[in-house]
């Protein structure tokens, strides 16, 4: 088993040495996919994850995403009954019948 793994790694390193441009392009694509798949931090995210998200996106030159708000699209605001202040009733929907 160890000899098989060694021969596979040897083949990979030989391919990288023979095709440095393609290896760089593949590595860039893989790392870009990793960074792009990170979920935006929410208000409940830890400080470490917020730092990690911003740091990795800055390394990937994805500055707009690194400077984005710490609230993801999945954020749900508090329910109206918990929000202080005057409450405005919402009129019921009227079915217009098609």
- For the chain, what are the domain ranges? 9-71
Percentage of the residues of the chain whose pLDDT score is greater than 90 = 29
Q: Residue 63: CB partners within 8 Å, gap ≥ 6? A: 57
Looking at the predicted structure, is the pLDDT value of residue 62 above 70? yes
Is the predicted pLDDT of residue 87 greater than 90, yes or no?
Answer: no
Q: Who contacts 41 (Cβ-Cβ below 8 Å, separation ≥6)?
A: 49, 50, 53, 70, 72
What's the pTM? 0.53
Residue 42, pLDDT score: 82
The per-residue pLDDT for 45 is 84
pLDDT at 13: 95
Q: Each residue of 6-18: pLDDT tens digit?
A: 999 999 999 999 9
């Amino acid at each position: 088993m160890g000899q098989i793994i060694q021969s596979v790694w040897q083949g990979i390193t030989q391919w990288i040495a023979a095709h440095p441009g393609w290896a760089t392009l593949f590595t860039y694509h893989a790392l870009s996919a990793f960074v792009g798949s990170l979920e935006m931090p929410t208000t409940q995210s830890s400080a470490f994850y917020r730092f990690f998200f911003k740091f990795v996106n800055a390394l990937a030159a994805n500055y707009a995403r690194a400077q984005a708000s710490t609230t993801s699209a999945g954020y749900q605001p508090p329910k109206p009954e918990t929000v202080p202040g005057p409450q405005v009733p919402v009129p019921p929907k009227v079915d217009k019948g098609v």
